[in-house]
Amino acid sequence: MKGIVAAVPTPLDAHGAPVKDTFLEHCAWALANGCDALNILGTTGEANSLGLAHRKQVMAWAAEAFDTSRLMVGTGLTSLEDTLDLTRAAADMGYGVALVLPPFYYKPVTEEGLVAWYEALDRALGATPIEIYFYNFPQMTGLKIPADVVERLAKTHPKRFTGIKDSSGDLDYCRELVRRLPDLKVFPSSETALAEGPGAGFAGCISATVNISAPLCARLLQDPADKAVAGRVASIRADIAAHPLVPAVKYLVGRRADESAWNRVLPPFQQLDDAACGSLDRIAETL
């Protein structure tokens, strides 16, 4: 997997349940408008606010509708048992990649503890044919997956631990992983990293805001030296990120699709106020 990966949101009905046709319409739009792949049920997808049954339902919808080689799915929870359950289900549906958060609740988490947890997941999966990408998002989890842990697991289990999504915003961390592990697929979470070009060694990006700017991002991927496009991509991302990110992305997707299910969010998120919606409308008018 490589290139531009949209971390897709999840539309909701009035009861907080995912809405199939609306979800699939946006996934198809993203794949047709510059995205190489989709990250289903990550942070943008409100995965950790959805129950296991709804997560499996959304996983199944995507797997039935699209080529699973273009899909990855978030399966990480603090419970190893539930993580294993979702990861096995993903493999059974044909997913080749699972994005797995570290066990973030009990702290402090030692490096040995992290290694033990991921190795326990690997052992339990056994011959199950699914690759694991680490999901490093310390702003949400309260812990950073140390580069030493990533290196150790990737070297001792090279067919299982094959990539990472880094949402820390620390490109030096990403560069260090590329230096240590040239075969690891390193995905920064910001599409602005595409401007560094292939020489940076990144596999692409996995981003929430490419749900909005996918066509521009595809142009930047093709020509990283295009400073005008790079500046526009960075500006759009910054303007959207000035708002609560997940509700903002959902609002803009809903505006494109003319579908109210995108305006709903699960607690603790709140719907955007009129001022925020007006600000986002002005962003949309420039696209």
Does the active-site annotation cover 135? Answer: yes
Q: Which of 95, 118, 135, 173 is catalytic?
A: 135
Q: Which of 56, 165, 185, 250 is catalytic?
A: 165
Does the active-site annotation cover 227? Answer: no
Q: Is 164 annotated as a binding residue?
A: no
Helix, coil or strand: residue 44: coil
Q: Is 206 annotated as a binding residue?
A: yes
| Annotated binding-site members for pyruvate | 44, 206
| Annotated binding-site members | 44, 206
Catalytic residues: 135, 165
